[in-house]
Amino acid sequence: MLTCPVCHGRTTGKIGPEQYFCWNCLIEFDDQQRAYQVDEDGNLVQYWQEQMMGGGDNDEKTE
């Protein structure tokens, strides 16, 4: 089982031949460790590296 490229967790599931899903981040990723989010139209959009590296500096309220 691959670990998530974003949170490095193991709460991942296989959803296709080279497609995986992280239940923690709710993102999809592939064998190349590229992560994608599903937007409101159902399209896959790249989950940007800067978000992945953003740890702790987030202005958004999480409560």
Question: Binding residues for Zn ion, per CB under 5 A?
Answer: 4, 6-7, 9, 22, 24-25
Smallest distance, Zn ion to C-beta of residue 11, A:
7
Q: Give the number of other Cβ atoms within 10 Å of residue 51's Cβ.
A: 14
13: Cβ contacts below 8 Å, ≥ 6 apart: 20, 21, 23
Task: Give the residue closest to Zn ion by C-beta.
Answer: 4
Smallest distance, Zn ion to C-beta of residue 15, A:
14
49 phi and psi angles, rounded to 5 deg = -55, -40
> Which of residues 22 and 28 has its CB atom nearest to Zn ion in the complex?
22
> Which of residues 24 and 49 has its CB atom nearest to Zn ion in the complex?
24
Residue with tokens 């992560």: 35
